[in-house]
Amino acid sequence: MIRLALLLAATTALAAPIAAEARPMTATDLQSMRRLGAPEVSPDGRIAIFSLSTTDLDKNRRNNVLHSLDLTRPGATPQPLAGAEGGHDAVFGPDGAIYFLKAVGERDQLHRLVPGQVATVLSDFGADVSGFKISPDGRHVIVWADQRDCPDLACAATTFAAPEPGSGKIYNELFVRHWDTYAEPGKRSRIYSFPLSGGKLQGMGVRLTGDLVGDTPSKPFGGGEEIAISRDGRSVFFALREAGRIEPTSTNLDIFMSPIDGSAAPVNLTDANDATDTMPTVSPDGRTLAYVAMKRPGYEADRLVIMLRDLASGRTRALTEDWDRSVGSLTWARDGKSLIVDAQDTLETPLFRVDATTGKVTRLTREGTAHNARALPNGDVLLAINSVQAPDDLYRLDRRGRLTQLTAVNRDRLAEFDPVTFEKWSFAGANNETVWGYTFKPANVSHKLPVAFIIHGGPQGSFNNSWSYRWNPRTFSAGRYAVVSVDFHGSTGFGQAFTDAIRQDWGGKPLEDLQKGWAHALAKDKQLDGDRACALGGSYGGYMTLWIAGRWPDAFKCLVTHNGIFDTRSMGYMTEELWFTEWENGGPVYEVPANYEKHNPLLHVANWKTPNLIVIGDRDYRVPYTQGLGAFTALQRRNIPSRLLRFPDENHWVLKPVNSVQWYREVHRWLDQWTGGQPTMGQ
């Protein structure tokens, strides 16, 4: 059992002052937090640059402002970067200039800023630049953008036939739609290379993927971590899943190498592995390519193991095969002797150092979620840390393991809020195995509290000690609720066997864990009012609330089902990434229909009686909105108190600031209605 008071650490120089009149944090507060982007560091390690974004609720959008931080001066504070107003995704070039993306008209384009001068626009493409990288020798820039099948980025040398009359789109294979977007036939995320001379891009750009068909970076979530440039500036490494009829059933990302001038076809470096290979990262001496790999094709949550490839000989070895954790990021230390990685571990996401020779793993941080690590020349590490207590701030980890907070970008806001407590605990779950959970609640409150029992999605995921701008425990608590969460079998951060245990058992061990965890939480904390509790979940968590409705119908006063799966059989045909349902159920629906029916919420609607708030997003193609409509129809036909919250402009997640505030407002109204919670003003 671990109990933590969620106040900024007293050992930190930038601790938040105690507010004179504290109050609960609201959904509007959550959206008003300043968000710190991933930092980048100057070659000499003296300056960090990053974006700080704020919310304009009137315009329902976020605004980026690039900032710099002097890493040599103790107590330095972030300063707006003059000349880069509205920019984002900034990096230092080897020429000392700062390169970044910024909108020109309606499209993001590449800019270059020499400190003290006016920024210049480097690109004028007919498409948004999604991202870019500068070669270490400063002679090339590679950019990626969604584009048709053109040898140059501007499609200047390509003539397309005039479209035939009619608005219909023709598809000969999947994907028809992916995550939240209908596929545009022939359009892919592609990378192009440009010579860089005199601070300007030369030519029209050369496509580096050759005749490969696929997206790089991968969609929907891939980014710059899937692309790297060799230290000599001659080669580009990129991850790509080849498209075709098998694309929606394949998790086979491979790492390819292409000459940066496009003079030869790309070579597949990981063709022998039919599972995921990604995150290519070149060692400081240029001799070794580190990347991460899974073993099992078709499984998106398999363990990611660090692989090291000698670029001269092609010999490859697994570095972390004996470490039962999945690596989330890769950064070489400046001396090339180790790699800095993050990995989930028992409700936390620490930073670790992995010896590049032996594979020995050393934990570097303790509580919270550490990420976006950047190695500094003197051996220190710049990183971001967040937790359930606060969103990201920058920290410096020195060679002795001492952690120093460098920023406090939300100090004043956090000081306004009531103190809260966060307690981790474990119990004997399914198969008598150890399962972890936590209780989060307002501090300095003596009366019994109604409970929001939140269930994470994935299903291979975790509501761990991290800050979320979507499912945020502090916002759920709102000063009047306790929050309880259980990391059931299938959760991440407890070893790969625990993660794998949910396969073909969605309604089995996970439900048993939730039942036992709920009983454990109530028994150990008498402040939790088990008679005034609601269960909430999204995605797989939404599936589980519907499974609870039929299989554990007397447990809760109400349910909230956000984009949840109502009919596992139809889901097997309707979702876009078919590997998800086919892996989880042991094959496609037509081959193993009984597997899909075994834990199908639809089959237990006759047992439903719990009031349920159903939330759907029209642009959700992972769990199509018809799943939620089906559940709502079932509730209405059975005359069970129910409500539908539909977002025409959201996907699997609620991302727009005003919509997020509305989401929490409606969720709290529902919880208050059925638990007798006392609402606060100013959601």
Per-residue model confidence (pLDDT) at position 406: 98
What is the structure's pLDDT at 1? 45
DSSP state of 419: P
Q: For residue 679, what pLDDT is reported?
A: 59
How far apart CA 455 and CA 604 sit, in angstroms, is: 20
**Predicted pLDDT of residue 312:** 97
Q: Which residue has the tokens 């708030």?
A: 613
**pTM of structure:** 0.95
Q: What is the pLDDT of residue 20?
A: 52
Q: What is the dihedral of CA 359, 362, 365, 371, to 10 degrees?
A: -10
User: What is the model's pLDDT at position 163?
Assistant: 85
SS3 462: coil
pLDDT at 9: 33
Kindly provide the residue ranges of all beta strands, DSSP E only, lying in 316-446, ordered along the sequence.
Answer: 316-318, 331-332, 338-342, 351-355, 361-363, 369-375, 381-387, 390-397, 403-405, 420-428, 434-442
Q: For residue 681, what pLDDT is reported?
A: 41
Using the 8-state DSSP alphabet, how is residue 346 labeled? T
Nearest to 475 by CA among 388, 387, 369: 388
CA angle 224, 466, 670 (to 5 degrees): 115
pLDDT of residue 92: 96
Tell me the HSE value of 639 on the side-chain side, using a 13 A CA sphere.
Answer: 0
* pLDDT mean values, one per 10 residues, the chain (683 residues): 38 43 94 97 96 94 94 96 91 94 91 91 85 96 93 85 90 95 94 90 92 96 98 98 91 98 97 98 98 98 98 98 98 98 98 98 98 97 98 97 97 96 98 98 95 98 98 97 98 98 98 98 98 98 98 98 98 97 98 98 98 98 98 98 98 98 98 82 43
Question: Does the bond joining 220 to the residue before it have cis omega, within 30 degrees of 0?
Answer: yes
The bridge status of strand 642-647 relative to strand 181-182 is unpaired
Residue 245, pLDDT score: 83
Q: For strand 254-259 and strand 267-268, is the pairing parallel, antiparallel, or unpaired? A: antiparallel
